[in-house]
Structures are given as C-alpha cells and as structure tokens.
Homo-oligomer: A and B are copies of this chain.
Amino acid sequence: MSITKVRLSDQVYLELKRMLEEKEFSPGDKFHSENELTAMLGVSRSSIREALRLLEVAGFVTVQHGKGIFVSDPGNAGQKALEKWLNENETSLSEHFEIRLIIDPKAAASAARKADESDIKKLREICAQFKQSVAKGNTADTINFDEQFHLTLAKSTKNRTLYMIMKTMTQSLPEGWISSLHVPGRIEKTIKEHCAIVDAIEARDLARAEQKMAEHLTNALNDIRSSMHKDPEVTK
C-alpha cells in the first residue's frame, strides 16, 4: 500500500471544487477572494493560488487581475483542457476540417431527432440575426452568429460530451477558417445553407440534415482553399 502524501494545494483544489458545486454558484458570480480563502481554509496564499491555477485550467473559474475570481459556466468546465491542447498543437486546416466533416453532419442528424421546439426556434433566430448582421456589414457579429449556429445545433443533440467537443473545436479554429466569410459570395451561400439545415431538422429528416451539413462544410472549405491559393492540395 502506498500512502501518498497528498499535496496541500491538491486538497484545496478538491475543496474549492466541492464548494463551487454544492453552494450552487451561478456562472458569472464573484467567488471568494484569495485572502478570504486563506482565512476560510487556514492555508497560505501560495497553496490557494496553486489550487486556483488548477481550477482555472479545469475551466471552473476565471481569474481577473484587480477584479477577482469569477465562476465560469460549468458547461465550459473541462473544455479548456482540450482547447489548450488544440492551440498548442496547432492543428492544420485539413485536420480540423476532417474532424468537423465527421462530427458535424452526424450531429445535425442527431439534432434532427432530438431537438425540441425551442431549439429549432433558437436556430431560426440565429439565422435571422446572421442575416441582419450581414446586411449591416457587422463582420464581428456575423462571425459570432456563425459560431452560435453550430454551437446551438450541437447543444440540441442533448449529448454533453458531443457538445463539449464541438464547442471546443468551433472556438479554436485554425486561422483560415474564419476568413472563409470574407470570400466573395460565401456569406450569401452560408445563409442559404444554414436555412437548409434548419429546414431538414424541423422536418425531422435525418439523412437530409446530415447531407446539408456535409455540403455546407465542403463548400466552405472549397471557398477557403480557392481564396488562399490556386493550389488544391492541402498540407501534407
């Protein structure tokens, strides 16, 4: 039997995690300050801070200099880990696309089966907002609503793990992906393609939802490639 002396900061980590779960903190709430925590737990600030680093990478809290410690959306918890890995291993455009092409279409099919009316309503709203932002020429919003569309779709599969993976992938896209919306004509096509996907979901047509999503991704990638170089070959 190995009696492992548990590091104090690890115990603090578990204790703080317990507090966050049990006390039912809401996302965005301000958590206790470092000084408060040292008093509450009776350990030094160093140990508190080391535990905070762990809570941070685990996605339970976000720490802001001068402001304080804030509870983050538990839906984000754990996701940061994957996100970090993706960023540090700078996945190529083709790798990213390959996975998106595997997951997203099937997720669309799954959504066509499991999405409830509020999900579909929200998807329609996002499509409308997307169209609006395009009309206004607000590119920041446009990019954001494009992201929102894929995320809402992922959420309506009711599969938390699937949602987590897709959310992470979506939010840590490689460079070129975002620029696809700058390709002439791509935005207009995106509007139509998104609508077609929602239509299929609403009609509970699994196969069509899957197909439309696959088309959407493939079209986007083709436009990206042709805009970047004339070279159709991607990396190696």
Give the interface of A toward B (CB within 8 A): 5, 7, 9, 17, 46, 49-50, 53-54, 57-58, 65, 77-79, 81-82, 84-86, 88-89, 91, 95-96, 98-99, 102-103, 106-107, 110, 159-162, 164-165
Contacts and interface: CB of A to CB of B under 8 A. Distances in A.
Assembly of this chain: how many copies? 2
B81 A161 contact: no
A154 to B, nearest CB: 12
Contacts of A95: 159-162
A167 B85 CA distance: 14
B85 A164 contact: yes
A88 B96 CA distance: 26
A159 B98 CA distance: 8
A92 to B, nearest CB: 9
Given A53-B54, A82-B85, A84-B81, A98 B162 contact: yes
A161 B172 CA distance: 12
A188 B160 CA distance: 33
